[in-house]
Structure formats: structure tokens, C-alpha cells
Structure 1
Amino acid sequence: MSIQLPQKKATKAVPKDSTKTSIWSFMNRDIQFFEPKFGIKKKLVLYGQLETLLGSGLDIQASLELIEQSFKKKQDQALIRGLKESIVKGKSLSESMAELGKFSIYEQYSVQIGEETGRLHLILRDLSSFFEKTLSYQRQLTGALAYPVFVLSFSVLAVLFLLRYLVPMFSGIYGRFKQELPSLTQMVVNLSGWVGVLMPYLLISVLLLIVGAYSQREKLWYRKMMGWVLSHIPLFGGIIQKVYLSRFCQAMALLLAAGVPLLNALKLVQQMINFYPVSSSLKKTEQAVFQGAQLHEVLSQFDFYPPQALALIKVGEESGKLDMMFERLARQYTEEVDQQTAVIGSLIEPVLIVFLGGIVAVILVAMYLPLFKMSTSMGF
């Protein structure tokens, strides 16, 4: 049996993996906010239903006809219909997937292995499991980042609103009395004046920053910089690292368990995970392993991989159970991410609320302080 990894020339029409459509597109493409036309959730449904139907004895054509009816959107139905029509013309499922250009090389290669080994329904089960876990990783990451980002953004908008509209109303009233304002009040009034002047430029700068980041997202320097930034965010850097470690370990476990050679597995995972610390290290690792180096020895050269993970990978290489060790690591990191996000979420919520309340309180006290001072001087 000969299983060939799809070559670059043959997959020229295949777009990048749908998991690379960004939740924070200006930060990292692996984290999704808006799912692509045929994204992770839909692939999870496709592979799960196809595995169930094939396992029940239906042929692939009849299975795809039933799956087509389960999708509501016409574009999704057209995609499944395209797979079915290509198979009717005599092509294999993996060839049909490559022809449509909506599936990653990892998916094509996995299905090709299933077809040539007679284990297609098992490979489909693995693909369904992979996308289920990928969706879980994304939810973990967005769950860790979404709430703090939302609260901080709301805080900034609330403060800008107070400084831009509320403070000028009070300062106009106090200006009629022609009295010296308390230091705190004067400082807030001056800050309000600066905000009024700089706000248009601030909004334009933020817009240009987002557009510039989106246009540069493919560049090496940008990917390297954002990889470093995401890995060093206070409190969340460690969680982000473990999310990608879990994705790496889960992908390696599925590929190795399916019988994919280690070199091919490393090449495929590079294409699946666009996070720079992972993809760049795997590219160098693939070259070193090809020259005869041990996987754990090469990975130990990169700070991204913890010593505990390297120790288990070493045991897996020596025992011939590398896929089981990667599966164990994936479960371990997933559990750690769940625990850490729960703890940080419970701690950061009151901190952010107190922070926002404190800023608003300072502004309000500063605005009412002259009134208190005037009432005191008048003997009330």
C-alpha cells in the first residue's frame, strides 16, 4: 500500500484550513469569531453523520444524499451535492474533497488513508472527534479572553463618554462662577479637554491599526510578533500556550493513531496550526527528525514545550506508544485550561467591576467636589 501526502502543486486550489478564519482576525487566525462558509461546526456534523451512516451499512452516495437534506443553507447543500456528484463520476471521496477546495490537506490525507486501508468509518470518527475538540479549544480560548476584553472595552467607552459629554457640562457651569477649581476637578477637566481634541484622531488611529493588522496578518514579522504577544499576556499567556499545546498534541495523536508516519504528521500539523511558536518549531523539527534526530530532543530546543511534555514524548518514543502519550497530554492540557479559565474568571470579574466603578467614582467625585466646597464656604 502506498499513501502519498498531497503535494503542493496538487493542492494549489485548496484554500487554507477553515480553522484559520479568525475570532480575533487581527491577532491570530486560528481563533474564530465568525465561522467561514463551511467551518468547524459544519464539518463536525458532516463527519459525524457520515461515519454513523457508513457504519450502519449505507453506501457513500446514499449517505451523502441524506446528509445533504440535513443542512439548511443552500450553499452547504451544494457542497455536499458536489461531493456526491464527483463520487458518482468515479472519483474517491478524498479526490472529491480536493477538487472542491473546501477541505484542508489534513482532512484529504486522513480520508485517503481510510479509503486505502478499509477503515474509512474509523477515520471519519477520528475527524469528527478532532473537530469537536478543536471547537472546544476555541471556546476555551474565547471564554478566557472574551469577558475581560468586553469589560475593558466597555470601561474605556464609559470613561470616554463621561469625559467627552458629562464633564464639559459641569465645567461650563463652574466657569460661570469664576472660582478656582479643586486640583482633582481641574485635572479631570483638563483631561476632558484633551479627550475632546484627540478623540477623532484616536478613533482613526484604532481603525487604521485594525486595517493594517488585517492586511499584514500573513507576513512573517506580524505572525512572530503576535505569537510573542499572545504568549506573554498577563494571566492569559499561559492559557493560550496550553490551548495550542493541546491542539498540537490532539492532532499528533489522531494522525499517529491512524498510521501516518511521523514526518508526514509533523508536516500536516504545521498546516493545521498557524500559531507561529508551533508552526515555526515544527518546521525545524521536521527537518531535524528527517536527519535522524529524536522528536523530544528537537522540541526541547524550543521554550514553548514544557519539560513535562517532553518527558512523556520521550517515553512514547522509547515505548512505541507515541500516539497514546500525545492523547494523554491533550487531555491533561484541556483539563488544565478548563480549571485555569474557571479560576481566573471568578477572580477577574470582581476586579474589573471594582476597577470600572472606581474610575467612574473618581470622575463623579471630581465633578461634585466644587459643589461641596461651595456649600461648605457658604455655611450649609
Structure 2
Amino acid sequence: MGFPLDNIQTVKKDQNVGRDKTSFLQREITLFGNAFSNKKKEDFYTELSVLLRAGITLKDGLELIENAIKKKPQKEKIQAISKSIVSGASLSEAINQHKEFTEYEYYSLKIGEETGTLAQVSEQLGAFYARKNEQRRNLISALTYPIIILTTAILVVAFMLSYVVPMFQDIFEQQKVELPAITKFIITCSELVKSYGWLIVVLILGWFLSKAFLNKKRWYQKIKNNITLRLPFIGEFVKTVYLSQFTQAVSLLTASKVPVINSIQLVKQMINFYPLQDALEHVEQSILKGRSLSDSLKQHQFFDDKMVALVKVAEETNQNEFIFQRLNEQYNSQVQQRSKLLSTIMEPIIIMIVGVLVGVILIAMYLPMFKLSSVLG
């Protein structure tokens, strides 16, 4: 991305053209009109850092960004921020008035304004959201195909239980064949699906429709995140994703000379994942009691031994920023590797499960048929 600075009108046109050519696969789909999603924040901070480094004032830079945006909610948000700055507020104070922005962003920008490094801080925030969005795409990419296969399998099994099994059941009742235990079990499952299938569908639809509301509830986040961590393969992958985000955030804050305790407090508010937030809450309390960061991390199982060992080295050598950068690179590499491995492993496992379920249903239906043919013969 670049801004030719000799002609502002050209900049506006070029930016609009660039937006139109954005690949559909690179766009972030959001529900319920989120005016500033993580993808939009990535673009906002990256573009702002480029403009500030080019010597454009903050007010003019926001105006250029605003003119490049087509969607009304985002444009209005930038306009509100610009008006606050014209009224005398700083950028950090302006974004702090909007709930879409976190305290992590507020304090990072405030530090940048106080130290004259607003362009660098904006670039770091853009990099943070870029990495976060990349990890989200990796997660979606790793789970999309297995979820499609699993959904197809559920529909196939539901169809067989709803329509195929009842056909065999009518034949068995007419011929008064004694049914094996496995056949009786499958017929019972079929009757349950026919009787309560609509209720299951309603519950699933209700869950999807109320998901946006439930995600705001602390108890729902706690249950959902804890279940996710316990899932085979997926749990470890998701944990690595959030450890990568944690180390990147701490690295950026350490580079801005933010004290450790304040970094923990800000990251806890920034990353919306209950197990990590709960772990950081305990770490914060432990540091306030006088323990070191490495000892505090060691007390919680969410943080692995590698992180604890390297953080201890960082404390002894006063190389916190460098160590957290290295940790972030390692975790990010693990995320990329595990996303490919996850997709590779889950695909044959789900196919095998589908084969077993369909095979069990067919065997359960054909066993009485073999018995019936032997009796008639």
C-alpha cells in the first residue's frame, strides 16, 4: 500500500480503486454491523502509520483515510474521531470515546503521543492486528473442510435414520422378525430423530441467532472457551494461537517501555479468550505480591515450560523485548504448522467416523434381512 503525496486528489482516487480490487477472500465478514473489526483496524493503523511517516498531519491523514472508505459506519466513525481531534483532543482520547477500541490501543497511542513515536506505535498496532487476522484465517482454513465433511456426515446419518430405517422397520414388523440388539438400538435412534429432530434443528438455529448476544456473556465465554481447549487437536492449536497473540502484545508494549504489570493488565483486556484472561488475572495478582513474571507464569498451566524458561532468561539479562519477539516468532511458526497438520489429521478421522456410522446402520438393517431369508428358504 502506498500514498502518492504530491496530489491529494489522486490519492483519494487511487485509494478507492485499491479498495474495490480487494479480493473477496481477504475481506472479513462481520455480522451485526461491527464498524471496526480487527481487519478494519489493521488497515486503519497501517495506513495511518504510512501517512504519518510521510509527514502528513494527523488531521489530514484521517481525512485521507476517511475519503478512501466507502462503508457508511466506518466513515462515520473516522469522522467522529476527526471532529474530536479538531476540538482539541488527542488521537488516544478520541478513540477512547468509542467502544470498538480497547484500552490496549488507547494506552499504546497515548505512549506514542507522549514520546513522539505515534507513527511507530501505529505501525506496531497494524502489525499486531495483521498477525491476529492471519492466525484467524489459518484457524478458519484448518477447520473449514473438516466442518463441511462433518456437517455432510450428520445430514447423511439423519436422512438414513429418518427415511431409510423406517422402511426396513415396516418390513420387519410385517414379517414379525426377531430383531438383534443393534437393530433395536438403531430403530430407537430413528424414532428419536423423527420425534425430536425438529426440536434439535430449532435449538441449533436459536443458538446461531443468539450467538452474538451470548458472546457478550462472561459465563458463555467461559464454558465455550474451556470446552474448546479440551477438544483433541483443536484445543492445543487454539491455545498456541492465543499464546502467539499474548507474546506479540507483550513485545509491543515492552518496546514502548510499559511496565510488566501494566502490560499484563492491558493484554488481559485486549485478548478476548477466557482461559488466557483468567491465567493473566492470577499472574497479575502474583506479581503484585512480589513474585517475578517467570514464577507467576509457572504457576498456571496455560503457559508452557518453554515460555517460562525463556522469560526467566529475559529477566536475568534484561532482554524482555527480544525474548518475547522470539517467542512470538516460534508460536506463530507453530500456528502455521499445526493449521496444516490439523486439516490433514481431521479429514481422514472424520471420513472414518462417517464410514463407521453408515456401516453400523446398514449392518443393523441387513442382519434381520439375512435371518428372514434363511427362514423363508
TM over 0.5: yes
Structure 1: gaps spanning 5 or more residues: 1-31
Task: Mark the CA change 1:228 to 1:99 in structure 2 (over 3 Å): closer, same or farther.
Answer: closer
Q: Distance in 1 between matches of 2:109 and 2:53?
A: 15
Alpha-carbon offset, residue 363 of structure 1: 2.5
After the TM superposition, which residues 28-67 of structure 1 pair with which residues of structure 2 at under 5 Å, given as runs? 34=31, 36-67=34-65
After superposition, the Cα gap between the structure-2 partners of 1:350 and 1:126, relative to the gap in structure 1 and judged at 3 Å, is same
Structure 1 counterpart of 2:155, one-letter code: L
Structure 2 residue corresponding to 1:255, chosen from 235, 253, 256: 253
Q: Distance in 1 between matches of 2:257 and 2:184?
A: 71
Q: Which is further off, 147-156 or 104-113?
A: 147-156
Matches within 5 A, 1:59-98: 59-98=57-96
Aligned-residue CA RMSD in angstroms? 2.8
Q: CA deviation at 1:81?
A: 1.6
Deviation (angstroms), 1:33: 7.0
Higher helix share: 2
**1:18-55 Cα distance to aligned partner (Å, 9 max, x none):** xxxxxxxxxxxxxx974832101111111111111111
Inter-CA distance 225–111: structure 2 relative to 1 (3 Å threshold): same
Name the structure 1 match of 2:5: none
Deviation larger for 274-283 or 370-379: 370-379
% identity of equivalent residues: 38
Which residue matches 2:109? 111
Q: Tell me the SS of whatever aligns to 1:356.
A: helix
Shift of 1:291: 4.0
Contact 1:159 1:359 in 2 (8 A): yes
2:192 maps to which of 172, 191, 194:
194
Q: Does 1:236 align with 2:210?
A: no
Alignment deviations for residues 192-228 of structure 1 (CA, whole Å, 9 cap, x no partner): 1232223244445556777898766566555444443
With over 3 angstroms needed to count, the CA separation of the structure-2 counterparts of 1:288 and 1:173, relative to structure 1, is closer
2:321 maps to 1:334: no
- Alpha carbons 1:144, 1:236 under 8 Å: kept: no
Q: Which residue of 2 aligns with 1:132?
A: 130
In 1, Cα distance between equivalents of 2:163 and 2:279: 51
Residue 249 of structure 1: CA displacement? 0.6
Match of 1:346 in 2: 344
1:240-277, CA deviations, whole angstroms, 9 ceiling, x for partnerless residues? 22111111111100111112122211110110123223
Query: Quick check: 1:273 aligned with 2:290?
Result: no
Q: Among residues 314, 318, 334, which one is paired with 2:312 in the alignment? A: 314
**d(CA) in 1 for partners of 2:74, 2:203:** 39
Distance 1:180 1:102, change over 3 A: closer
User: Once structures 1 and 2 are overlaid, which stretch shifts more, 288-297 or 243-252?
Assistant: 288-297
Q: What are the within-5 Å matches in structure 2 for residues 169-248 of structure 1?
A: 169-180=167-178, 184-203=182-201, 222-248=220-246
TM-score, length basis structure 1: 0.81
In the aligned structure 2, how far is the partner of 1:100 from the partner of 1:348?
41
Partner Cα separation in structure 1 for residue 60 and residue 207 of structure 2: 50
Give the aligned length. Answer: 348
Q: In structure 2, the residue corresponding to 1:100 is in which secondary structure?
A: coil
Match of 2:294 in 1: 296
Quote the Cα distance in structure 2 between the aligned partners of 1:216 and 1:99.
24
State the Cα deviation string for residues 125-178 of structure 1 (Å, max 9, x = none).
Answer: 000000001112222333444443443333223211210122223333454444
Does the aligned pair in 2 maintain the 1:82–1:100 contact within 8 Å? Answer: no
Greater shift, 208-217 or 83-92, is seen at 208-217
* Structure 2 residue runs without a partner (length 5+): 1-28
Question: Whole-Å Cα distance in 2 between the matches of residues 80 and 208 of structure 1?
Answer: 35
Give the partner amino acid of 1:119.
Answer: T
Structure 2 partner of 1:159: 157
Structure 2: distance between partners of 1:46 and 1:249: 22
2:177 and 2:372 in contact (8 A); partners too = no
